[in-house]
Chain A
Amino acid sequence: MSATEYERTPAIAEKGYETPLAHDLEAIWESKPGIRGFLSTVDHKEIGIRYLVTSFVFLVLGGIEALVMRLQLAGPNKSLLTPEQYNELFSMHGLTMIFLYALPVLSGFSNYLFPLVLGSRDMAFPRLNAFSYWVYVASGIFMYASLVLGFAPNDGWFSYVPYALKPYNPGPNMDFYALGMIFYGVSTTVGSANFVVTFLRMRAPGMSINRVPILTWGTVTVSFGNLFAVPAVSLAFLMMWADRQFNTHFFTPETGGQPLLWQHLFWMFAHPWVYVVVLPAMGLVSDALPIFCRRPIVGYTVVVLGTITTMVLGFGVWLHHMFATGLPFLALSFFSAASFVITIPSAVAVFAWIATIWTGRPVITTAFLFFAGFIAMFVIGGVSGVMTAAVPADRQLTDTYFVVAHLHYVLIGINLFAVMGALYVWFPKITGRLMSERLGRWNFWLVFVGFNLGFFPMHVTGLMGMPRRIYTYPDGLGWDTLNLITTMGAFVLAIGILLLLINLAISRRGGAPAGPNPWDGPTLEWATPSPPPPYNFPVIPLVASRHPLWEERLGETEAGHSEIHRGPVLADGKEALATTALDAQPDVILKMPEDSYAPFVVTLAMAVAFTGLLLANWWVAGIGGLAILIGSLVWLWPEAALAQKARRPA
């Protein structure tokens, strides 16, 4: 079979993991050892693990920033930090947690799990996948370089104008943030395109759109959202940078600019972003929680529809971040109403999880505890969200610690709790080792108690009028004790997370062997060895139900039986099967790319270009731009091995 053949009928065979075919596939798919493999690999599992590890590094950095701020606020009139340092710390903390941790950690799970749960060999665009990771790291380093050099962003993660503009903020601080976010947006955008196309095209035959695991629904929904939301913030930051660098007049009020335009563009992106960093986490829970309830999730269809509805409505509520800006009453009413409505699809998911636990036979593992805690925190964060959706209440609460409490209940409750639970579930798949349940209990209870001790009192300090983002406060306002409790809670939470890291480190080598399916899960990733081989599946599985590994006991066999080890053999080089978008009928045999340095090289070129822009050195920027162009052309040049070129006439 030549690489330029145009058609083929794939052979159907029954092959397991210990066969000559599997041996051949291993040789075809494995990455090179050493530094060459490190820089060129396009294996989605390797990239997924890198996303997870890197995002946890940023979680720790952001956490340390938070702890320093909590020390400063532990009592009145403390002077650990100057006001300027405090501004930089809360800005770095916010942008780190929201951009460099919250989505990338979910992308890590999605990258690792998508092909495995969909029964595929890789993502739709393996090189783009590597590129998305490298750009994420490079943009993270770019933004953190500001902190190392002493010019960290200092205007909060939403960097309102005019304070972010040159007259008020003359240093390079905001340039780092503006350019860094445009850089980072490239990673999010290409990653999102990859998830969307993978979801639509790379599912195993028979895995019609109503049979995919919910975690892929969560990620694909927010990836669609990102495609439409990210340009808003990239554009806004470009305008800000142009105002600072070239004296254009987008946001400058004294020369015909509109400061409010910044807020519109920012929140048109950033409100959808709130759902972007929680919906995939909700998806992880929707797939993992039922494993520990020993039953399928209650209401698969409504949970999926709720996910999509939340994202769509999420584009229509951005104004609720701007209730205090003097907008017309009619606009406030409309956006307030929309903000109330959005609670309905979220509540659907909550009730589905509760019903799943209620009607199931729960097995109380650490993961289950995290998921149960997740539901409880979601409810608290949701209720405080409803309170701020009401315009009169919001006018009282905005810019107070009440909002800080709300957003942390949402982000830690719905993102971090889900992520920690998901780690306990899928760590055995990734490493082949179970995590310690004993340490896990300590991990969970310290996190749960520390988090609530730290953040629940913030509701009260907020109601008592303590504004957010103040670097200190006088005594006698009644905030002292509450702030001390908050600081203590923050440190308990930090110890809990430290225990998680210790558990990960210990279990990676010393954990009990997991076997392919330690939790008796229903979806395809549990049919692979732990860790899975580079090619994932020796033959492409055929799927006949939502729970391929549970269908006999559930009696889900009206459409036949799924077959894991009997299916199309695709072993003429790196090959994968693409299926139709809705019904997952076989559509085309894809030639998948080999490992490539192009993603890394183009990322380096982008880093050079953005550094040139930052230094206002147009030569450096131009050289970087040219290198991006050349790198992209090499990357996209048609290759016979990828069956992109015509057969040569003999």
Chain B
Amino acid sequence: MSEPLIIRRRLPVGSMGKKANGWWGMLALIATEAALFAYLLFSYFFFDVQYGRGWLPEKLPAFRLSGPNTVILLLSSVAVWWAEREARKGNRARQCLGLAVGLLLGIAFVVIQGFEWADKTFTPFSSSYGSLFFTITGFHMAHVIAGLIVLASLLLWSALGYFDDRRNAPVTIGAIYWHFVDAVWLAVFFSLYVTPHLR
């Protein structure tokens, strides 16, 4: 009789960090969302290649607002990363602070992006470039807003004392989603704002 002895050991119970099924589910969600943005950017470059410079607006997308906004979004990721680290140490106050800072920086991103949109001379209905520009940045904006709802929920749950140093899987799972939203922005930013200047 062979007994897999390994079975006789203490096992964690329930939702435990990266052992939680929710963590794996979030990775699957991120994979499919990443594919969505890949198809969006494919569509953008499909037009770009077919039409060339004439397809882009007269005035290329500028860095005046989008540059600082990119930095703001990256800083929010740092704040959320720090919050997650403090969560694992069981430091609830710092964890809440990190989530709150991440949330505020995210909101700032949305507001500045609103100004950036208002600044455009084209609309989603004026040209195929406009349709794509607003669809891509709009999809990203929708993901930021979803991420803000996630961060707000995590902040609330943290403040209510739902988590401690071991039981905090939702923070880990929410944080990776927020980092993904930021990483996608870098791809969007590079495609829509940087590549037009490289031709």
Contact = CB atoms under 8 A, between A and B. Distances in A.
A591 B21 CA distance: 10
B169 A201 contact: no
A314 B36 CA distance: 18
Interface of B: 1-2, 4, 6-16, 19-21, 24-25, 28-29, 31-33, 35-36, 38-40, 42-43, 46-47, 50-51, 55, 124-125, 127-132, 135, 149, 153, 157, 161-164, 166-170
Given A258-B47, A591-B14, A9 B8 contact: yes
30 contacts: A6-B12, A7-B10, A8-B10, A12-B8, A125-B21, A196-B24, A196-B28, A197-B24, A197-B25, A205-B4, A227-B32, A228-B32, A228-B35, A231-B33, A231-B39, A232-B39, A234-B36, A235-B39, A246-B125, A248-B124, A250-B131, A258-B47, A258-B128, A261-B46, A264-B42, A265-B43, A589-B14, A644-B162, A645-B162, A646-B161
Interface of A: 4-10, 12, 124-125, 128, 189, 192-194, 196-197, 200-201, 205-206, 227-232, 234-235, 239, 242, 246-250, 252, 255-258, 261, 264-265, 268, 542, 544, 559-561, 567-568, 578, 585-591, 629, 633, 636, 638, 642-647
Contacts of B31: 227-228
A585 B20 CA distance: 15
B121 to A, nearest CB: 16
Contact of B167 (A10, A194, A629, A643): A643
A293 B39 CA distance: 45
Given A12-B7, A193-B32, 10 more contacts: A193-B29, A205-B4, A205-B7, A228-B31, A231-B36, A234-B36, A258-B47, A258-B128, A261-B43, A591-B13
Nearest to A632: B149
Contact of B19 (A9, A268, A588): A588
A242 B31 CA distance: 25
B131 A644 contact: no
B25 A587 contact: no
A644 B149 contact: no
Contact of A6 (B13, B36, B129): B13
B24 A124 contact: yes
The 8 closest A-B pairs by CB, nearest first: A643-B14, A560-B2, A231-B36, A193-B28, A646-B164, A248-B131, A249-B128, A256-B128
A590 B169 CA distance: 13
Where chain A touches its partner, the secondary structure class is mixed
Nearest to B130: A249
A103 to B, nearest CB: 16
A198 to B, nearest CB: 9
B35 A125 contact: no
A588 B32 contact: no
Given A197-B25, A250-B131, A646 B35 contact: no
A255 B32 CA distance: 31
B11 A588 contact: yes
B19 A232 contact: no
B21 A6 contact: no
A192 B11 CA distance: 28
Contacts of B4: 205-206, 542, 560
Contacts of A242: 124, 131, 135
A235 B36 contact: yes
A235 B40 contact: yes
Given A246-B125, A589-B14, A201 B21 contact: yes
A226 to B, nearest CB: 8
Contact of B135 (A124, A125, A201, A239): A239
Contact of A642 (B15, B28, B124): B15
A643 B169 CA distance: 10
Contact of B9 (A9, A250, A256, A646): A9
Given A257-B128, A561-B2, A586 B11 contact: yes
A631 to B, nearest CB: 13
Nearest to A584: B4
B54 to A, nearest CB: 10
A643 B28 contact: no
Nearest to B167: A646
Contacts of B46: 258, 261, 264
Contact of B166 (A6, A8, A633): A6
Contact of A544 (B2, B10, B28, B35): B2
Contacts of B9: 9, 586
A219 to B, nearest CB: 14
The interface centre, meaning the residue of B21, B166, B169 with most chain A CB atoms within 10 A of its CB, is B21
Given A256-B128, A560-B2, A5 B36 contact: no
A578 B47 CA distance: 46
B14 A200 contact: no
Contacts of B128: 248-250, 252, 255-258
Given A232-B39, A561-B2, A644-B169, A10 B55 contact: no
A644 B12 CA distance: 12
Given A246-B125, A261-B46, A646-B167, A232 B131 contact: no
B179 to A, nearest CB: 19
A547 B10 CA distance: 29
Contacts of B135: 239, 242, 248
Nearest to A589: B13
Contact of B39 (A252, A268, A586): A268
Nearest to B173: A636
Contacts of A252: 128
B32 A189 contact: yes
A256 B55 contact: yes
B37 to A, nearest CB: 8
Nearest to A5: B13
B89 to A, nearest CB: 14
Contact of B163 (A193, A256, A567, A646): A646
A193 B164 contact: no
Contacts of A124: 21, 24-25
A542 B35 contact: no
B2 A193 contact: no
A585 B6 contact: yes
B14 A197 contact: no
A568 B13 contact: no
A413 B47 CA distance: 39
Contacts of B55: 256
Contacts of A248: 124-125, 128, 131, 135
Contacts of B20: 588
A642 B14 contact: yes
